[in-house]
Amino acid sequence: MSDVLQPQQAQPASRETPADPLAPRTLYLHRRVVVIAPERIEIRPPRSAVIMPAIGVAVTAGLLALVGTSVDSLPFWTLPVILLVSVLLLPLSGMSLVYALLGASIVASGPGSNVSLKQRFLGLGIGSNELIPFWKIRELRIEDEGRPVSRPDAELPSQEVAQWELILVKKSGTRHTLGGLTVPREREEEGLEIIMEVAEAFAALSAAPIRGPIW
């Protein structure tokens, strides 16, 4: 199934989707939250992503408090260890916490006519942005990484879970994964419906065609 589908033709039958692909709503992917608005689409981490960074900040604060209150009673060798851990842990945890609370890893802007992808720093999603103008987008591909794979000698069977992915493909051929959703194989259509809904929103905003689902 590799024909290019127009956004309005790609609606799964079992899910009631808004008539307007850019109607305000929130969708949930794997470790990502998609916030759709008429002129803007944001893909950001879920609120649960603040847990580990918050623990890191709390541990660092506890270590520094320990040094401040018990510096005379602590063995000498523990001080440089605590300071080193604090120097490494606090910036990373702090940046991760700010990103989890305020950051958006992918932003598609209608007025700006571009998609902004954050360049990751140590997996934190913090750093410079890559701006992809809408006119540089060749297509939006929907793929299932868990489908059977045909090989000359044998065919690998499908996995027990469907791994739907929405991929932005630039005219240069560069691929950027916008998001994914993993569901049990018997519920693969439900996962496809959600991924397709996100794809339709990006297609409506950018005028890029949808190709897929592809497996």
- pLDDT bin (cut points 50, 70, 90) of residue 90 is confident
Query: Which is higher by pLDDT, 111 or 4?
Result: 111
Q: Does the pLDDT value for residue 114 go beyond 70?
A: yes
Please report the DSSP string for the chain in residue order: ---EE-GGG---TTS---SSTTSSEEEEETTEEEEEETTEEEEE--GGGGHHHHHHHHHHHHHHHHHHHHTTTS-TTHHHHHHHHHHHHHHHHHHHHHHHHH--SEEEETTTTEEEEEPPSTTS--S-EEEEEGGGEEEEEEEETTS-EE-SS-EEPPPSEEEEEEEEEETTS-EEEEEEEEEEGGGHHHHHHHHHHHHHHHHHHH-PPEEEEE-
Query: Which is higher by pLDDT, 189 or 124?
Result: 189
Give tens-digit pLDDT for 115-169.
998 755 444 445 567 899 999 999 999 998 877 655 555 555 567 888 899 999 9
Model pTM above 0.95: no
The top-scoring range by mean pLDDT among 21-25, 73-77, 81-85 is: 21-25
Give tens-digit pLDDT for 10-58.
444 445 667 889 999 999 998 888 999 999 999 987 766 566 767 777 8
